[in-house]
Amino acid sequence: MQYEIVIDGHLGPRWAAWFEGFAITGEAEGTTVLRGFVVDQAALHGLLQRLRDLGIPLISLTPAEDPTTEGPAPHDETNGS
């Protein structure tokens, strides 16, 4: 699932590693957009929690269509249901 998350404040692109490889882009109006792919809801919430734990204010969360990548469902390595 592709998501676009908008946060308040500027977070440099070098934070991408901390946020699951999401692409990070600063916007003119003092916000930042994170764009990327998560495996499932649990992964999404894990990401949101990282934002929360840094005290970064969340502005919006929208599913995004990315026609260029056909994200295949990654092979689930774990036992978890």
Partner 1 sequence: MALIESKLRAPRRRAEVVRRARLEQRIDREGLPSLALVSAPAGFGKTTLLMEWLAEAPAGRVAWLSLDRRDSDPSLFWAYVVAALRKVDPDLGRQALATLQATPNSLDDIVGSLLNDLSALDADVVLVLDDYHLVESLAVQESMQLLLAHQPAQLHLVVASRADPPWPLAGLRARGELVEVRAADLRFTPDEATAYLNGAMGLDLASSDVDSLEGRTEGWVAALQLAALSLQGRDDPSAFIAEFAGDDRFVVDYLADEVLDRQTSDIRTFLLETSILTRLSADLCAAVTGRSDARAVLETLERSNLFVVALDDQRRWYRYHHLFGEVLRARLAREQPDRVADLHRRASSWFETEGDRPEAIRHAVIAQDFDRAADLVELGLPDLRLTRQDATQREWLEALPRAVLANRPMLLHGLVGAHLVTGDMHGVEALLDEIDGLLDNPPAAGLIVHDHEEFRRLPARNAMHRAGLSLLRGDIDATIHHGSRAGRLTEPDDHMGQGAAAALVGLARWTTGDLEPACRQYESARASFEDAEMWADILGVSLGLADMQFALGRLRAAEQTLTAALDLATTHGPLRGTADMHVGLAELHLERNELDAAAEHLRSSLALGEQMGLGQHAYRWRVVDARLRSIEGDHATALRLLREAEQRYNTDFSPPVRPVTATIARVLIASGDLAGAERWADAAGVDPGDEAGYLREYEHLTLARLLLATGRPAEATTLLHRLAAAAEAGGRHGSMIEAHLLLALAHEAGGDRGRALDVLAHAVTQAEPERFVRMFLDAGAPMTTLLQAAVRQDRTADLASALLAAATAAKPMPAPQGLVDELSSRELDVLRLLRSELTGPEIAAELVVSINTVRTHTKNIFMKLGVTNRRSAVRRADELGL
Binding partner 1 (rule: CB under 8 A), the pick from 5, 11, 33, 34 is 11
How many residues would you count in the chain? 81
Helix, strand or coil for residue 12? coil
Tell me which of 10, 25, 60, 66 binds partner 1, using CB under 8 A: 10
Sites for partner 1 among residues 43-62 (CB under 8 A)? 50, 52-56
CB 14 within 8 A of CB 46: no
Q: Name the residues that contact partner 1, by CB under 8 A.
A: 9-12, 14-15, 17-18, 30, 32, 50, 52-56, 77-81
